Amino acid sequence: MTNFAHAPPALVETTRIGDLEVRRLGFGAMQLPGPMVWGPPKDPAAARAVLRRAIELGINLIDTSWYYGPHVSNELIKEVLHPYPKDLVLVTKLGGRRKDDKSWASALRPEELRDGCETDLRLLGLERVDVVHLRWIPHTEVPFREALDAMVALQKEGKIRHIALSNVTPLQLEDAMSRAKIVGVSNLYNVAQGEKKLGKLPHASTEGQEEIVDLCARHGMAFLPFFSLAIPGPRRDNPAITAIAARKKLTESQVALAWLLARSPTIVPIPGTSSVAHLEENWNARTVRLDAEELKEITAAR
């Protein structure tokens, strides 16, 4: 059940990922490459403008990966933002790869994780990545603990500052927490679909998300929801969001992000866009305040 017990009376502006303080709305770089997250952007100048504007607005967390493009997102980030602002937190993920037919596949063997980490470091111009998610992709023959141990080895070598997890179940999260310092989780979670409506999305875990959100809050771990506005394809059929957006003269996306921000003080949405206008719209969702009745209405309509 969705629980708002942790929602503060006044919205918390920042949270911590390990020893790093971040503002509670980041930027996901997945939409910077071309269609299907493949190849160069349709409008390279617009993609560069989005990155510059993100920093101007005060966004200090960018979520990316070497396999977005592949390589395209990281190359754009380095080109536009390097040398990086002192407070910018770059977050990557390892465990996936792209095939020649543009499909997604797992890359969870220790040597694949190491190669992906080295690629991120090279493309981003870094000696160490601030936060790296172990992106778990089911139907792999690699044991979860073997992949996690490979991440810990990279951390001990100084290539990873903090380890986080992505696309995991509650049991996997608890197992990982017993073996390593985990600073956050990035799972599929949004207001558009309740847990029973999430259905099947390739390579995405939908098990126990409410439990994981609350567990992260209890342990002071960040929760970075991917597809934070909606799964591509399904509509956002939530009449409460529509009504509240109209009443407050907001967009439905702003109300959806405001719901996430109120859901837990450690949630950091990372909506992606290739448009400066949409970026600014998302950023302004931080100022939206939903009262208890509005939160209840939206949650019930999930």
**Which CATH number characterizes residue 231's domain?**
3.20.20.100
Residue for token digits 């990873």?
A: 160
CA distances from 174 to 1, 37, 168, 182, 207 (A): 19, 32, 10, 10, 14
Distance between CA atoms of residues 141 and 180, nearest Å: 22
Q: Find out whether 298 and 238 touch, Cβ atoms under 8 Å.
A: yes
Q: What is the pLDDT of residues 230-269, one digit of tens each?
A: 755 444 578 999 999 999 999 999 999 999 999 999 999 9
In the chain, the number of structural domains is: 1
Q: Which residues are catalytic?
A: 68
Does residue 215 form part of some domain? yes
Does 239 sit behind a cis peptide bond, omega within 30 degrees of 0 on the bond before it? no
pTM of the model: 0.93
54-58, 194-198, 220-224: segment of lowest average pLDDT? 194-198
pLDDT attached to residue 84: 98
Does residue 27 lie in a domain region? yes
Task: Let me know if residue 299 belongs to a domain.
Answer: no
Quote the mean pLDDT of the chain: 92
Q: Residue 163 belongs to what domain range?
A: 19-237+268-289
Residues in the chain, total: 302
Which residues on neighbouring strands pair with residue 247, listed in sequence order?
A: none
Q: Is residue 245 part of a domain?
A: no
In a domain, 259, yes or no: no
Indicate whether 50 belongs to any domain. Answer: yes
Q: What is the model's pLDDT at position 200? A: 46
Is residue 180 within 8 Å of residue 189, measured between CB atoms? no
Residue 7 has pLDDT above 60, yes or no: no
The token pair that represents 70 in the structure block = 């592949």
What percent of the chain is predicted at pLDDT more than 70? Answer: 90
Per-residue pLDDT tens digits for 60-70? 999 999 999 99
Position 237 scores a pLDDT of: 73
Residues with Cβ within 8 Å of 232's Cβ and at least 6 positions away in sequence, in order, are none
- 224/89 Cα distance (integer angstroms): 13
Measured CA to CA, the distance from residue 269 to residue 20 in angstroms comes to: 16
Taking the alpha carbons of 57, 62, 68, 74 in that order, is the dihedral positive or negative? positive
Please check whether residue 99 lies inside any domain of the structure.
yes
Q: Distance between CA atoms of 121 and 78, rounded to whole angstroms?
A: 11
DSSP 159: S
The CB-side HSE value for 124 (13 A sphere, CA atoms) comes to: 28
Token pair of 34, please? 């071309």
Whether residue 29 lies inside any domain: the answer is yes
pLDDT in tens, 171-220: 999 999 999 999 999 999 998 765 544 444 545 666 689 999 999 999 99
Bond from prior residue into 70 cis (ω within 30 degrees of 0): yes
